[in-house]
Structure 1
Amino acid sequence: MGKNQVGNNDTNNNSNNSTKSMEDSDPNPRFRVYKKRWFVMINLSLLNFSIATIWLGFSPVAYKASVYYNTSVSTINWLSMSTLVVSIIFGFVWSYVMNRIGLRACMLTSAWMAFVGAGLRICSTIETIPDEVRLALLFIGQVISGIVQPLAIYSAPKLAAIWFPSNQRSIATTASGMANPVGVVLTGIVSPLFVDQDGFIHMRYMLIAYSCMPLLCVVMTTIIMTSDGPPSPPSYGGTVTTSENFFAGVKEILQNRAYVILMIGVGSAIGLYSSFATLVEQVLCPWGYTDTIAGVCGSVMTLAGLVGAIIMSLIVDRTKRFSESLKFMFISAAVATIVFTVTHKMYMGYLIVLEMGMLGFLSFGISPIGMETAAECTFPVGVSIGIAMLQISGQTLSILLILLLQSLGRPMTPEELIHHGSKCHSSSFTYFNSSGTALPKVFPEVITYDLTVSTYVMSGIMTFVALSFLIFFHPTYKRMDAEKEATRIQTAINEETLDIESPRHQNDTLRTFCMDESGEFDNEKSTNCEIKVREE
């Protein structure tokens, strides 16, 4: 049996030299990683962080903001709700657009629109214009920034696939996407700093402060993102996207049973977390917990969750056990939710913070690990489509669950509030009855609700989702399988044991390495085509 030489010795020498610059862990000299990937990840992390501060910057100072803009508190609350609404509407749009405009254009669009929105919010502090115009500028700026929130979040797994090797994708997705909740935590600390002791809020300075990060992101994105991806891909998974048609991709993944289960599960987890974080103060304050303790609970839950998400991402990067890790987090989150439901009415002081921290630590990783699992299950469909539908599912369920859980609250009587030591109202909202007993004044706008039934519903939903996920979720890791096949073929090529004339090797994987569209070998397509081929 003879052998033909495809390529030449010079090409072989060049290939051998180039291999020395690759990571030792990658057997395929066609793939390499670049240090620049970390700067790109930091850039996207800061972008998600800055958009989150714009989203919820008013929540910690809602009453002060309503006085400043001469409007109601409910109107100020709609600033954050408007972001969720436009995120759902534009989520499908961005998932359709992402594969066509590329990662660089996605990040530039996000940075510039966030900065423009932040600038319009600053204009709303000009006191010489009518209140209606100021409020309109505020909402327009908020909506513009909210429109690109899903675009920035969806870019996280796309960045991981394009810039990072397979053993770093989960941590890259976590770091890029989870910067958003870090921004949420920061707003609870920063916004109150602009309120004087007499209650006056320096709104202009606060909005200027929140516009500095988007400006930095505009500068960084312009400088760092000179291309959509690196000159050479980091892995085989970063080179292939065969389903370019958006609607065909949506149809394909909705026919994927594992992905549908994943979408429902992760979407439910995101919705429950968002509703829980929104209502935690209302759940705890009737039972003697102060606003300070409730605020610390929300921050600790998020920060502990970030630590847990990073640890789980590192574990998944090493073990590739996506399904097992998700099932562990779902069951742990269900148990932690049940424990909170049973104990939250027993006043424990700051010990409740530890309980909330454990809940966040055990459950927060569901979102980033779920996004990476979606990319594995739906490969080679464009990663942005699967991630977008996960996020839209979570955002939709967040709104529905918040409305449902609020509706299940039971108004509490003044006597109940006194008996349980409620801290929902300050001492200035009290009066003394004829017997000299202090009772809280209950106005229509400050009615206190017992949300115990709501916590039961949360526990029930989380338990049902966790058990269903444990029983029915059995995914196929299509991206990992494709990368293993690519590595096997490349190894066979390097060892000169692959019979390329065999019909079973005329597949997309081999074509990606060495063949042009007609099936002929193309030495210019890859540096790895300098191989010896067996002749029958």
Structure 2
Amino acid sequence: SLRMTKEDKEAIAPDSIGIQLKDMKGAGDAAEEEDQDQPVQLKVYRRRWLMLAVVAILNNSNTMTWISLAPVDNYANGFYGEGAAKWFSMVYMMMTIPVGIFSMWAGRFFGTKTAIYVAAIANCVGCAIRLGSSFLEFNLRFPIGITGQAIAAIAYPFIMYLPSKVANSWFPHNQRALAVTVGAMSNPLGVLMANVIVPAIVGEVKDIKYVNMVIFIPCCIGLLLVLIGVRSGEPKIPPSFSASQEQMDFLSGLKQCFMSKQYLVLFVVMGGGIGMFNCLYTIMQKLLCPSGYENTFAGWCAALMIIGGLIGATGSSIIIDRTKMYEETMKVALGLAVVFGLIFMQLTLHAGLAWLIATCCFLFGVLGLATYPVGLELSVECTHPVSEATATGLIVLSGQVQSVIYVMLMDQLVKDATEEINKIQKCKLNDSDTANDPKDNTVAVMAFSLIAALLVVLLVFCFKPVYRRLEAEKANRAAADKREEQAKRENEKGLPSLDNATQPLNA
């Protein structure tokens, strides 16, 4: 019989199954190499929840840093200078593009632990510099503040692929989608918190410094948790058959992704969805204030969108964990999301429709953000055995590129406000305010709606995925069952079995 250590008993370990554990190629992490002929157990560690909590806190705090000035765009412009709020958001998207490819390579070469440490340190240092800018003279605030924001933005490319990476490395197959949801949806949860907290504490221009103080606190908590709790990036014993497989190196993985037609469809559509959500977060206040809606209402619209998204993403993750109906869930959710999104965009052009706008925001969030964890999981399914860092990182990178395009497109398509808009607008802080002129968003809304509709058409008619990871797990499980059956027959014949002599690895 096999001897169980105390730590083995604490783990949730499936049946002892003989598989070939291959080098997971995490050079920077202690993903231990075993002889390829040595069978080992699958094992699930309790420590996986700590790893997931670290990813969630880093994602949440970094997102709050990104979006915290958008709900009070007009006050932020008064504190840092004209157009400052837009640049505090745009610098995140712009930094992700050059740093993104490097972060995917570094995460593959140095390992998950290194990526987590880089993200936590950059996040905290950047926030500290931004906080320091609050106490400088006006002409120094923006250059110092945007420098801190840019450093914090460096953290995001290292965070963006961690939900899928940690889920695949630490969680069994029937918990992966839920783990991805917790890690990934902490991003929009950060947007929710920023949209609720920031308008509540900002009543005048000088209150922006309190925003910087509040944002700095979770960044410090995230760094402290990383320094105390993260000792390795991957477990010694894999939790699933697919996690035990050798993954492609970085360049081979890139080639595999861009040679897959199904992945390219996902690359465009998921990137477009992420880009549109990021754009809406950034311009929500500018979208609503010309029609007479206050900052507080704009904040609550973004909050309702994300509350709905948390509900939708949790529901979709449970569905795909149980049914593995990735394609069907993705197409239905995105199609309905665009319907409510188009209605929402049209309603923002009219005054006095607060309840209808809020309702559409909520339903748009339920269905739109439900596609986020599903899409990330699909990117891994379509490209297996490409590293999760590469497969999901490229999707998020596509989203950041498209975010910049959509924000700039919306800026270019707005027109000068009509006399009717000027009578009801809530954009200006006072009559002498020239930094927050209201705009007519009609043409921009029409263009945004057309792009959203085209993305859905592309997904529905061109996306026919093959679930490569699930097929690999089935093949590995069948091979393991065959080995186990062979070992039983050898035992019945009285022959010695090497499998039975193998002791389980201790984590």
Normalising by the smaller structure, the TM-score range is: 0.7 to 0.9
Identity %: 26
Match of 1:488 in 2: 478
Offset, 1:14: 4.1
Is 1:36 the equivalent of 2:63? no
In 2, distance between residues paired with 1:178 and 1:278? Answer: 18
The equivalent position to 1:388 in structure 2, one of 393, 396, 401, is 393
In 2, distance between residues paired with 1:411 and 1:125? Answer: 32
**What TM-score, normalized to structure 1?**
0.81
- The 10-residue stretch of structure 1 (74-83 or 260-269) with the greater mean CA deviation from structure 2: 74-83
Structure 2: gaps of 5 or more residues = 19-40, 491-496
In 2, distance between residues paired with 1:21 and 1:118? Answer: 38
Q: In the TM superposition, what are the counterparts of 1:359-508 in structure 2 within 5 Å?
A: 359-415=364-420, 417-418=422-423, 421-425=424-428, 428-429=430-431, 445-496=435-486
Deviations 1:262-308 (A, max 9, x none): 11110111112222333333333333433332221111112211211
The equivalent position to 1:74 in structure 2, one of 77, 83, 104, is 83
Aligned CA distance change for structure 1 residues 416 and 288 (closer, same or farther; 3 Å): closer
Find the residue that maps to 2:207 and give its secondary structure. Answer: coil
In 2, distance between residues paired with 1:133 and 1:408? Answer: 32
In 2, distance between residues paired with 1:98 and 1:137? Answer: 29
Find the residue that maps to 1:359 and give its secondary structure. Answer: helix
Aligned length: 476
Answer yes or no: is the 8 Å Cα contact 1:259–1:377 preserved in 2: yes
Tell me the C-alpha RMSD between the 2 structures. Answer: 3.0
Offset, 1:348: 2.2
1:49 counterpart letter in structure 2: N
Match of 2:115 in 1: 106
Match of 1:532 in 2: none
Match of 1:286 in 2: 290
Match of 1:121 in 2: 130
In 2, distance between residues paired with 1:67 and 1:265? Answer: 37
**What TM-score, normalized to structure 2?**
0.85
Match of 1:47 in 2: 58
Deviations 1:394-438 (A, max 9, x none): 1111111111123222323214544xx444446x53xxxxxxxxx
- The 10-residue stretch of structure 1 (19-28 or 81-90) with the greater mean CA deviation from structure 2: 19-28
In 2, distance between residues paired with 1:131 and 1:42? Answer: 38
Is 1:209 the equivalent of 2:214? yes
Find the residue that maps to 1:229 and give its secondary structure. Answer: coil
Offset, 1:133: 5.0
Offset, 1:16: 13
In 1, distance between residues paired with 2:410 and 2:204? Answer: 35
Q: In the TM superposition, what are the counterparts of 1:72-471 in structure 2 within 5 Å?
A: 72-127=81-136, 133-195=140-202, 199-201=205-207, 203=209, 205-244=210-249, 246-346=250-350, 347-415=352-420, 417-418=422-423, 421-425=424-428, 428-429=430-431, 445-471=435-461
In 2, distance between residues paired with 1:16 and 1:144? Answer: 44
Aligned CA distance change for structure 1 residues 386 and 279 (closer, same or farther; 3 Å): same
Find the residue that maps to 1:242 and give its secondary structure. Answer: coil
In 1, distance between residues paired with 2:176 and 2:14? Answer: 15
In 1, distance between residues paired with 2:397 and 2:133? Answer: 30
- The 10-residue stretch of structure 1 (387-396 or 278-287) with the greater mean CA deviation from structure 2: 278-287
Aligned CA distance change for structure 1 residues 452 and 126 (closer, same or farther; 3 Å): closer
Offset, 1:392: 1.1
Offset, 1:198: 6.0
1:163 counterpart letter in structure 2: W
Answer yes or no: is the 8 Å Cα contact 1:51–1:214 preserved in 2: yes
Offset, 1:385: 0.8
- The 10-residue stretch of structure 1 (335-344 or 365-374) with the greater mean CA deviation from structure 2: 335-344
Answer yes or no: is the 8 Å Cα contact 1:293–1:350 preserved in 2: no
The equivalent position to 2:69 in structure 1, one of 58, 63, 85, is 58
Offset, 1:194: 4.5
- The 10-residue stretch of structure 1 (490-499 or 363-372) with the greater mean CA deviation from structure 2: 490-499
Match of 1:435 in 2: none
2:258 counterpart letter in structure 1: L
1:254 counterpart letter in structure 2: F
Offset, 1:528: 8.6
In 1, distance between residues paired with 2:247 and 2:481? Answer: 24
Answer yes or no: is the 8 Å Cα contact 1:283–1:452 preserved in 2: no
Aligned CA distance change for structure 1 residues 352 and 452 (closer, same or farther; 3 Å): same
Aligned CA distance change for structure 1 residues 58 and 216 (closer, same or farther; 3 Å): same
Aligned CA distance change for structure 1 residues 27 and 359 (closer, same or farther; 3 Å): farther
In 2, distance between residues paired with 1:398 and 1:198? Answer: 29
Answer yes or no: is the 8 Å Cα contact 1:91–1:392 preserved in 2: yes
The structure with more radius of gyration: 1
Aligned CA distance change for structure 1 residues 162 and 456 (closer, same or farther; 3 Å): same
Offset, 1:320: 0.8
Structure 1: gaps of 5 or more residues = 1-11, 430-440, 501-520, 530-536
Offset, 1:188: 2.6
Offset, 1:156: 1.1
Offset, 1:232: 1.4
2:455 counterpart letter in structure 1: V
Aligned CA distance change for structure 1 residues 126 and 351 (closer, same or farther; 3 Å): closer
In 2, distance between residues paired with 1:447 and 1:17? Answer: 66
Deviations 1:222-256 (A, max 9, x none): 22211122231110111223311x22221111001
Find the residue that maps to 1:173 and give its secondary structure. Answer: helix
In 2, distance between residues paired with 1:362 and 1:235? Answer: 30
Aligned CA distance change for structure 1 residues 226 and 526 (closer, same or farther; 3 Å): farther
Offset, 1:192: 4.1
2:388 counterpart letter in structure 1: V
